[in-house]
């Protein structure tokens, strides 16, 4: 089976972990051990911002950033439903109300026009998601936010290597949240990072991740145990060095697969724009005018032929039982349509050119 994603771990990561184990420093009470601090410095440079705050998961990154943005009980947060549940989950944990908003059917990212329709008196923040690794339309979203005095927390969990207007994803948001889960373009196994140019936000985030403490036994605010370990950071430092080559290989595979599939009119292929360059976390195609059953049959056939095709977000968050019962009651036509027609194909750095050709030719044979 050619898996949809596969972490690429080498001897360098193994040696980095052994070095930390031998040092005896596995974590630090305030979350700023030497390896974590070094990783934060390097990640901030990669992200093109002043601050990077490392935490233990991408969900912790989202929750922390939402709290730092001032979201409190009853505040509304505009976000897409076509995303992993953690985006909405973090809002609810913070006491906020997710306001699910429809997408642009070409990019699958939240639509700025739909955002405008959902702004209300209780709106506190907007969470655009860089879905599949393509940056959201962050400049028009930021303009909307500025006009209405809203925070922008970018969910960049899938965007390692993506750019917007020639700059790294996340630069134009008040804060950006990154996942380092095992499937991502780079990984620490589990882990997350929040990036920001705001000194005030960074200070709040450092308190939030470690029980609200700036000094031991002196909590200044309600906080959590969201620290990243020294072992995670050691892996992250090595993976960050490898990230450009990982993204380059994904890009090469994406271009190769696009050349193979471009002749099929039934498929809507992923595209980049001059302003939005993809991280190619996932190569997601759409079977135009298809029923959910038709799409599912193709995915099943691909799997039978050892191609790990996957359907991501088959049930949008606003239709999941908990969220539908507590925050539902709205129709998101483009979101619901896309969930029935899209599927993703393997193009990660472990996929060879020959495997890309096999994936493309196999899919062509099914259409």
- CATH number of the domain enclosing 189: 3.40.640.10
Choose the final residue of a domain: 185, 220, 239: 239
Residue 187 Cα to chain centre, angstroms: 12
Indicate whether 116 and 258 sit together in one domain: no
Q: DSSP 3-state assignment of 340?
A: helix
CA distance 345 to 258: 11
Question: Would you say residue 193 lies in a domain?
Answer: yes
Q: What is the mean pLDDT of residues 289-304?
A: 97
For the chain, the first-to-last Cα distance in angstroms comes to 21
- My answer on whether 78 and 226 are in the same domain is yes
Q: Is 216 exposed, middle or buried (0-12, 13-18, 19+ CB in 10 A)?
A: exposed
Q: 30 pLDDT band (50/70/90 cuts)?
A: confident
If asked whether residues 188 and 256 sit together in one domain, one would say no
Among residues 199, 217, 239, the one where a domain terminates is 239
For the chain, give percent helix, strand, coil, nearest 5: 40, 15, 40
pLDDT of residue 7: 95
CATH for 342: 3.90.1150.10
Query: What are the pLDDT digits (tens) for 42-60?
Result: 999 999 999 999 999 999 9
- Residue 9 confidence (pLDDT) above 80: yes
Could you give the CA distance from residue 106 to residue 338 in angstroms, rounded to a whole number? 10
Confirm whether 4 is domain-assigned: no
- Whether pLDDT at 328 is above 80: no
3-state secondary structure of 304: helix
Q: Quick check: is 355 in a domain?
A: yes
In a domain, 3, yes or no: no
Alpha helices, H only, 262-332 = 292-304, 321-327
- Euclidean distance between CA atoms 69 and 285, whole angstroms: 34
**What φ, ψ does residue 54 adopt, rounded to 5°?**
-85, 135
Q: How high is the pLDDT of residue 215? A: 87
C-alpha 362 chain-centroid distance: 29
User: Do 225 and 258 fall into the same domain?
Assistant: no
Q: Is 89 exposed, middle or buried (0-12, 13-18, 19+ CB in 10 A)?
A: middle
pLDDT confidence bin for 31, thresholds 50/70/90: confident
Q: How confident is the model at residue 355 (pLDDT cuts 50, 70, 90)?
A: very high
pLDDT for position 23 = 95
Length of the chain: 367
Q: Is residue 300 part of a domain?
A: yes
Q: Which domain holds residue 63?
A: 11-239
Query: How much is the mean pLDDT over the chain?
Result: 97
Ordered strands of the 192-196 beta sheet:
51-55, 192-196, 175-179, 151-155, 123-126, 76-80, 97-101
CA–CA separation, 311 and 341 (whole Å): 9
What order do you get walking across the sheet with 276-277 strand by strand?
A: 167-168, 163-164, 276-277
**153 and 229 share a domain?**
yes
Alpha-carbon distance of 4 to 282, in angstroms, equals 8
Instruction: State how far the Cα of 348 lies from the Cα of 5, in Å rounded to an integer.
Output: 6
Rounded CA separation 279/159 (Å) = 5
Q: Are residues 214 and 247 in the same domain?
A: no
Q: Which of 83, 75, 134, 68 is nearest to 99 (CA)?
A: 75
Same domain, 23 and 62: yes
Is position 217 within any domain? yes
Domain boundary (214, 239, 264) is at 239
Whether 150 and 24 share a structural domain = yes
Beta strands 76-80 and 123-126: pairing type? parallel
Percent of the chain with pLDDT over 90: 95
Q: Is the pLDDT of residue 361 over 90?
A: yes
Q: What is the pLDDT of residue 359?
A: 98
Residue 5 lies in a domain: no
Are residues 276 and 201 located together in one domain of the fold?
no
Residues 138 and 234 placed together within one structural domain of the fold: yes
pLDDT digits (tens, 9 = 90+) for 87-100: 999 999 999 999 99
Confidence at 229, pLDDT banded by 50, 70, 90:
very high
Does residue 1 fall inside a structural domain? no
In terms of domains, do 124 and 220 share one?
yes
pLDDT interval class at 254 (50, 70, 90): very high
Tell me the pLDDT tens digit for each residue of 162-190.
Answer: 999 999 999 999 999 999 999 999 999 99
pLDDT above 70 as % of the chain:
100
How many domains does the chain fold into?
2
Please state, in angstroms and rounded to a whole number, the distance separating the CA atoms of residues 160 and 134: 10
State whether 260 and 161 are in the same domain: no
Apex 55 CA angle, 49 and 56, nearest 5: 145
Confidence at residue 29, expressed as pLDDT on a 0 to 100 scale: 82
């Amino acid at each position: 089976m050619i898996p949809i994603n596969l972490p690429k771990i080498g001897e360098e990561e193994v040696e980095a972990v052994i070095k930390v184990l031998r040092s005896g420093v596995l974590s630090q009470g305030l979350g700023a051990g030497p390896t974590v601090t070094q990783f934060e410095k390097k990640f901030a440079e990669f992200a093109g911002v002043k601050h990077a705050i490392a935490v233990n998961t991408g969900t912790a990154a989202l929750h922390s950033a939402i709290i730092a943005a001032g979201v409190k009980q009853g505040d509304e947060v505009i976000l897409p439903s076509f995303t992993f549940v953690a985006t909405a989950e973090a809002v609810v944990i913070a006491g906020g109300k997710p306001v699910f908003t429809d997408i642009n059917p070409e990019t699958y990212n939240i639509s700025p026009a739909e955002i405008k329709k959902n702004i209300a008196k209780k709106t506190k923040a907007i969470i655009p998601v860089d879905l599949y690794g393509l940056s959201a339309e962050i400049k028009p979203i930021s303009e909307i936010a500025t006009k209405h005095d809203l925070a922008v927390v970018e969910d960049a969990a899938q965007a390692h290597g993506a750019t917007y207007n020639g700059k790294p994803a996340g630069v134009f948001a008040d804060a950006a949240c990154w996942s380092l889960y095992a499937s991502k373009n780079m990984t620490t196994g589990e882990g997350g990072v929040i990036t920001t140019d705001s000194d005030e936000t960074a200070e709040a985030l450092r308190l939030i991740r470690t029980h609200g403490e700036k000094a031991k036994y002196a909590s200044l605010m309600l906080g959590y145990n969201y620290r990243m370990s020294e072992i995670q950071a050691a892996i992250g430092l090595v993976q960050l060095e490898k990230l450009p080559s990982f993204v380059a290989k994904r890009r090469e595979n994406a271009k190769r697969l696009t050349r193979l599939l471009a002749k099929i009119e039934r498929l809507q292929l992923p595209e980049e724009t001059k302003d939005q360059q993809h991280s190619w976390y996932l190569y997601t195609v759409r079977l135009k005018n298809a029923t959910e059953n038709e799409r599912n049959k193709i995915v099943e056939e691909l799997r039978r032929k050892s191609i790990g095709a996957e359907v991501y977000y088959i049930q949008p968050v606003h239709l999941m039982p908990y969220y539908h019962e507590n925050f539902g009651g709205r129709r998101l036509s483009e979101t619901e349509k896309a969930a029935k027609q899209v599927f993703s194909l393997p193009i990660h750095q472990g996929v060879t050119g020959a495997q890309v050709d096999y994936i493309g030719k196999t899919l062509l044979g099914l259409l």
